[in-house]
Structure 1
Amino acid sequence: MYDKLDNPVYHSLNEFHQKFCLDFGDTKFYTSEVAVFGGSANVSKENEITEYAKICDDFLIFGAKPDLGDFKTELSRLVCDQYILEDKIELDFSEEILQLQEEHHEELFLFIQKFYPYYFKKRTPELGRYFGIFKDDKLVAVTGERMQMNDMTEISAVITDTDYLGKGYAKQLVAYVSGKIFEDHKTPFLHVAETNVGAKKLYEKLGFKLRGKINLWGIKK
């Protein structure tokens, strides 16, 4: 039922995010201005990797270990747990949650850059909706949508300012965003580093189910 999640980048670019697709054969990559991810229906090959490397110096391939051939690079590996949510989260919301508009994008970019400077680009908000909580006229917590297929949407960028932790903002944002995804008649899913025990406990408490693990292979030219 969720087999496409074995290759979420590939299927997102083959479906809902097709307009962002750079197709190099068996491997599809996002336009580097929105995301530096690639994925293959099978195994990414040297020629496909080198073509994207002409555009982007530092990127990730989701799924199977790429076949680098003679391509010289530092290949790193991040193991993530992949979760799905099959039932709506029942939660009372105590905070005002706003959908971020174009006028918020610069503040959103700078906010996420403080915590995850690699994964978020200037045009990443084009991939989906982003929602935030503001306190003292500043953005203090966000959650959004990243990879999207026709029937599934990834929850991403679950970030709270360190000065505002412990107030339940992430819980409310994840519940709110997943609810929006269900309204679209899609299934929410997300990825979290297998070492991030605190985040995994939160997601499991909210009802997310562990589907399995997925590798993210880092490639640097």
Structure 2
Amino acid sequence: MSHFKETLKNPVWFALNEAHEKFSVTYNGAKFYDPEICPFGAFVDPSTIQLALEAYAKTCESFFLVTNKDLPPYTSKHFVLDRKIEGCQMVLSSLIETPITENIVRLTHHDIADIYNLVWLVMPGYYRRRTFEMGEYYGIFKEGKLVSVTGQRMQTNDFIEISAVVTHPDYGRKGLAKQLVYHVTQQILKANKKPILHTTKGNAAIPLYERLGYQLTRDMNWWHFHCK
């Protein structure tokens, strides 16, 4: 099995061991992003989870474990499992050409507040202001207002994940997200890395991604914990 295919099984773990090592915090062998960057964690050895979760829970209000497997047994008075989000992983097979009719701009640190507000309006929970540091972000403005955004999140030596695909509700169904995903996919390919993305099962955006050349590869679960 290639290294790339191996990383797809545990993307958070490999990101924190490779391209995003600078954001990594380790507890008892499990790895987590700095909670100010991204509230994600992962593990390889199930025996590490009990002590690792106890330690990480002291640093944040909530977080996610990301895995394509079930969780190992654990008990705690300091955190609870809120829900399991059933997700799926998609990997680019071959990029399908898409016309670009909008003015797509690379966003800067001056846009961080606008990105945060737009993402939390449409898709609250995953994004932090410093998530911007994980990769490049691109957006479309209308009348001076950021109305659509797509960025890069987890990264390894092999892949870059597309994330924060968000459009303001007033500007939906205009093809903005499709053009942004296409553009960001191009940037990842130019960096000689493989584009991937994650979404929830049954998400209405999946056919859009498939029209760009992405294919479903596996389930990926997001276990959301709330710290007491």
Contact kept in structure 2, 1:89 and 1:207, CA below 8 Å = yes
Output aligned runs, 1:135-150, within 5 Å.
135-150=142-157
**Is 1:18 the equivalent of 2:24?**
no
**Is 1:67 the equivalent of 2:72?**
yes
**Is 1:195 the equivalent of 2:166?**
no
5+ unaligned residues in a row in structure 2: which ranges?
A: none
**Is 1:49 the equivalent of 2:53?**
yes
Identity across aligned pairs (percent)?
37
Match of 1:218?
Answer: 224
Output aligned runs, 1:61-140, within 5 Å.
61-63=65-67, 64-72=69-77, 73-140=80-147
Residues 163-188 of structure 1 deviation map (CA, whole Å, 9 limit, x = unaligned) = 11111001100000000000010001
Distance 2:14 2:186 in 1: 22
Distance 2:95 2:75 in 1: 48
Distance 1:203 1:42 in 2: 33
Query: Which of the numbers 3, 6, 9 marks the counterpart of 1:6?
Result: 9
Contact kept in structure 2, 1:65 and 1:217, CA below 8 Å = no
5+ unaligned residues in a row in structure 1: which ranges?
A: none
Q: TM-score by structure 2 length?
A: 0.92
How far off its partner does 1:75 sit? 4.4
How far off its partner does 1:41 sit? 2.0
Match of 2:185?
Answer: 178
How far off its partner does 1:68 sit? 4.5
Query: RMSD of the TM alignment (CA)?
Result: 1.3
Q: Describe the shift of the 1:42–1:200 C-alpha distance in structure 2 as closer, same or farther (beyond 3 A).
A: farther
How far off its partner does 1:108 sit? 1.1
Stretch moving more, 149-158 or 43-52: 43-52
How far off its partner does 1:105 sit? 1.1
Q: TM-score by structure 1 length?
A: 0.95
Aligned residues: 220
Contact kept in structure 2, 1:10 and 1:38, CA below 8 Å = yes
